[in-house]
Chains A and B, each alone.
Chain A
Amino acid sequence: MTTTVERSAGSGQTQPAPRRRPKRSPLAKREDRAGWLFISPWVIGFVVFTAGPMIASLVLSFTDYQMIQAPHAVGLDNYRQLFDDPRVLKSLSNTFVYAAMFVPLGTIFALALAMMLQRVGKAGGFFRTAFYLPEMTPAVAAGAMFLLLLNGQQGLINKVLGWFGINGPNWTADPNWLKPSLAIVSLWTVGGTVIIYLAALNGVPKQLYEAAELDGAGPVTRFFRITVPMISGALFFTVITHTIAAMQMFDQAYTMFYGPQQKATASDESLVYMVYLFQNAFQFFKMGFASAMAWLLFVIIMLITFIQVRIGNRYVYYHGDR
């Protein structure tokens, strides 16, 4: 690209001419408009149903709001109370433990299913649908179903373990097994992740595997040296979304341990952060405090995501990177 130079009047010096923004083609403009049109439902939904309530909750977090009378300002009291309430810390630590179990487990499980799906021939379409279907079932229904499956005495899971001589635990009653049982229940919803991984796996060039095979690389080496790096973008994305989902776990935990049929038998070991937030908002009428809890979670999630992105950028390979 050549640069035009002009001589300034009376100066004898040359100066670069100001760059003109290249004129955008009609096609590019049409594409822009189409792009905005396509994402507009999400943008509108986000502004109306997320951003609005968020701003409201930020305001409410500085108030004492019991949902009946008007809120009144209390400054930072709710945020101070976050550190004084031992159940906030307890529920937060429960949530971290659950996330630390579910994120790797969910990633490995979904990747294993995706790799199996990749090897299925003509029936691939059926299995893709079958694996995705659980994503469509209500979390409450899944929670209720898993209460039966995970029953320590008559549940199917312990019966299967019994075939191998393993005396399964009391998944839903033993405080030590409540969080692992929640992580297992959450595996029910990895269908969406499976589809993402399947797309990523199908995008890995076959020549890489052929070349590696010629060089004598075995299946394990090929998996770790080719598959994982080539799908690392998808892995990175799903690890982030799984982490966020895990930090916001509510439905299954509430159904399994805090629903009306549970008759208040829930142990503090199953108290995840969002359940405690919900209790404060609608059981104890502390909507201001619950809003502060929500913003604390927001900050924590953003912090975790930031760290994940910083670390991820070192290891994630994107096609086209130089």
Chain B
Amino acid sequence: MKHLRLPVVLAAGALALTACAGVGKKDAGGGSSDQSSAGSTPTGTLKVMGFGGDDEVAQSRVTAFKTAFPGVTVQNNKGDFDAQQFLTAVSSGNPPDVVYMDRKLVGTYAAKGAIQPLDDCIKNNGIDTTQYREAAMNEVKLKDKTYGIPEFYGVSTNLISVPALKSAGVAVSDIQTADWDKLEQTVKKLYKAKNGRPARIGFDPKMPEFFPLWAMANGAELVKPGGAPNLNDPKAVEALQYTIKLINDQGGWANFKTFRDTFDLFGAKNQFTKDQLAAFPIENWYLNVLLDSRPNGLQLQSTPFTDRQGKPISMLGGSAWVVPKGAKNPNAACQWAKTMTSIATWHKAAEARMQTVAKDKTFFTGLFTGNKVADDEIKAQYLKPTGDAGFDAAIKNCYDVLETAKPLNPSPAGAEIDAAWQSAVAKALAGSATPQAALDQAQADAKAAYDKVSQG
């Protein structure tokens, strides 16, 4: 069996070689910046990427497009946006026609030339960009060019479990983010431990993902206008130190995260009904999820997330429709983006949502479309007192912060900046670096990436 040695070595070599099987492809060539002709009716196939679109709000809008443009065959490759899938499709010269991606990615992909400017699409098809919220439009712009059509407008508010507060003798008004020392005392009252591990989290600061919100609350701007990173701003460092202190008061990061991982966030019996959490800031979409928990004893309350001066603030989330370089049917893509985000289409979505509400015997928690006109009209038409004071307060808080919500400023190095601060916060939470050192390193990494992109 000595002859087996050669096959063993060959097999080892072959297995090792597969580590190097990378993706290599020539330049995809000149991306079609084919501009949509004014008034031309799109036909052919429209390949959509990154759009899950399973709920009634999504389906009603897809139907609206298909009804308006029966000559277009929509091929929706369902699933969330996947960077690997998208980049390989673009670089291989076989991109989708329209892509649904997080708005914070638009700057990066625009800077790399992966997506086309839509200024001609907007002009030729008469898309009124003033209908969209200004903050959302700013997110999809780079160097005075527009690269995406925005939709949805995710804002945050504090959601509170009333039974948890009652059991600790804490008032709803004590769940506030203006007085940080006071919040820490409140958290200590609400926190419960069992065998040295968390049994109830008093206030989850939602780290790492809400770090930009805490930094904003403390007056820091993580990305400067123009896109330069500012991650180690002393105010940002202070915010990180504070949130880590909050977590350390509640068992320390490892225990805290482990316990938080047990939450059934989308279940009818969730962290609130199981008394695992007293309060946390979260985006508005979660209100709709919580409707299923009401029969299970959910008693909700809400306070606005404020800066340290007491002014309600929110980070901004949302998506955008973008057209990749080399898209074969940019005309249909442009009409798709226009139709999906139009006032009329949002009304159809709201109607579909109301039908679901009636069927489920629940209530409307608002629709935050990113289209200001649609928001106002839908709110006026459908939003009624729900009969649940907590939900009413939460919905009101979300609507109240729409005008002041802010995203991180767009940057051509957006992806690298995101990765840098996320890595820094994770390091600081795990205790492998101090907040100052972690954010200093993040700033250096992000700055290097930004400088490189800016020079390119």
Q: Give A contacts to B, CB under 8 Å.
A: 46, 49-51, 53-54, 56-60, 65-71, 147, 151-154, 167, 170, 172-175, 233, 236-237, 240-241, 244-245, 247-248, 260, 263-269, 274, 278-279, 281-285, 287, 290-291, 294-295, 297-298, 301-302, 305, 309, 313, 318-321
Tell me the smallest distance from the CB of A103 to a CB of chain B, in Å: 13
Q: Which of A152, A285, A321 contacts B258 (CB 8 A)?
A: A152
Measured CA separation A316–B336 after assembly (Å): 65
26 intermolecular pairs with C-beta atoms under 8 Å apart: A54-B20, A56-B22, A67-B87, A68-B87, A68-B91, A71-B27, A170-B258, A173-B257, A173-B261, A248-B18, A265-B429, A267-B429, A267-B432, A269-B430, A282-B83, A282-B87, A284-B449, A294-B19, A294-B20, A301-B19, A309-B12, A318-B2, A318-B4, A318-B5, A319-B1, A321-B1
B90: chain A residues within 8 A (beta carbon): 67-68
Is B419 a contact of A284 with CB atoms below 8 Å? yes
Q: Which of B12, B258, B416, B419 contacts A173 (CB 8 A)?
A: B258
B416: chain A residues within 8 A (beta carbon): 284
Is A233 a contact of B4 with CB atoms below 8 Å? yes
Name the 6 nearest CB pairs between A and B, nearest first: A56-B24, A57-B22, A70-B27, A318-B1, A264-B422, A301-B16
Tell me the smallest distance from the CB of B417 to a CB of chain A, in Å: 11
A294: chain B residues within 8 A (beta carbon): 19-22
Mark B398-412 against chain A: 1 for CB-CB distance below 8 A, else 0. 000000000000000
Tell me the smallest distance from the CB of A86 to a CB of chain B, in Å: 9
A147: chain B residues within 8 A (beta carbon): 261
Measured CA separation A57–B13 after assembly (Å): 17
Is A320 a contact of B2 with CB atoms below 8 Å? yes
Is B430 a contact of A267 with CB atoms below 8 Å? yes
- A263 to chain B: closest residue by CB: B209
Tell me the smallest distance from the CB of B96 to a CB of chain A, in Å: 15
Tell me the smallest distance from the CB of A73 to a CB of chain B, in Å: 14
Flag whether B171 is at the interface (Cβ < 8 A). no
Tell me the smallest distance from the CB of A252 to a CB of chain B, in Å: 16
Measured CA separation A33–B257 after assembly (Å): 60
Tell me the smallest distance from the CB of B322 to a CB of chain A, in Å: 13
Is B1 a contact of A247 with CB atoms below 8 Å? no
Q: A68-B112, A295-B20, A305-B12 are in contact. List 18 more A-B contacts (CB 8 A).
A: A50-B14, A50-B17, A54-B22, A56-B23, A56-B24, A56-B25, A67-B87, A68-B325, A70-B27, A153-B197, A153-B255, A264-B426, A267-B430, A267-B432, A268-B426, A269-B432, A284-B415, A321-B1
Tell me the smallest distance from the CB of B420 to a CB of chain A, in Å: 10
Q: Which of B18, B22, B28, B254 contacts A281 (CB 8 A)?
A: B22
Tell me the smallest distance from the CB of B450 to a CB of chain A, in Å: 12
Flag whether B308 is at the interface (Cβ < 8 A). no
- B255 to chain A: closest residue by CB: A170
Tell me the smallest distance from the CB of A120 to a CB of chain B, in Å: 27
Q: Which of A68, A167, A268 contacts B114 (CB 8 A)?
A: A68
Is A267 a contact of B427 with CB atoms below 8 Å? yes
Is A153 a contact of B16 with CB atoms below 8 Å? no
Q: Is the interface of A mostly helix, strand, loop or mixed?
A: helix
A71: chain B residues within 8 A (beta carbon): 27
Flag whether B297 is at the interface (Cβ < 8 A). no
A269: chain B residues within 8 A (beta carbon): 430, 432
Q: Which of B4, B13, B16 has the most CB of A within 10 A?
A: B16
Is A153 a contact of B430 with CB atoms below 8 Å? no
Flag whether B84 is at the interface (Cβ < 8 A). yes
Is A237 a contact of B8 with CB atoms below 8 Å? yes
Is A298 a contact of B8 with CB atoms below 8 Å? no
Q: Which of B18, B20, B209, B423 has the most CB of A within 10 A?
A: B20
Q: Which of A66, A263, A305 contacts B112 (CB 8 A)?
A: A66
Mark B206-232 against chain A: 1 for CB-CB distance below 8 A, else 0. 001100000000000000000000000
Tell me the smallest distance from the CB of A238 to a CB of chain B, in Å: 10
Measured CA separation A71–B22 after assembly (Å): 14
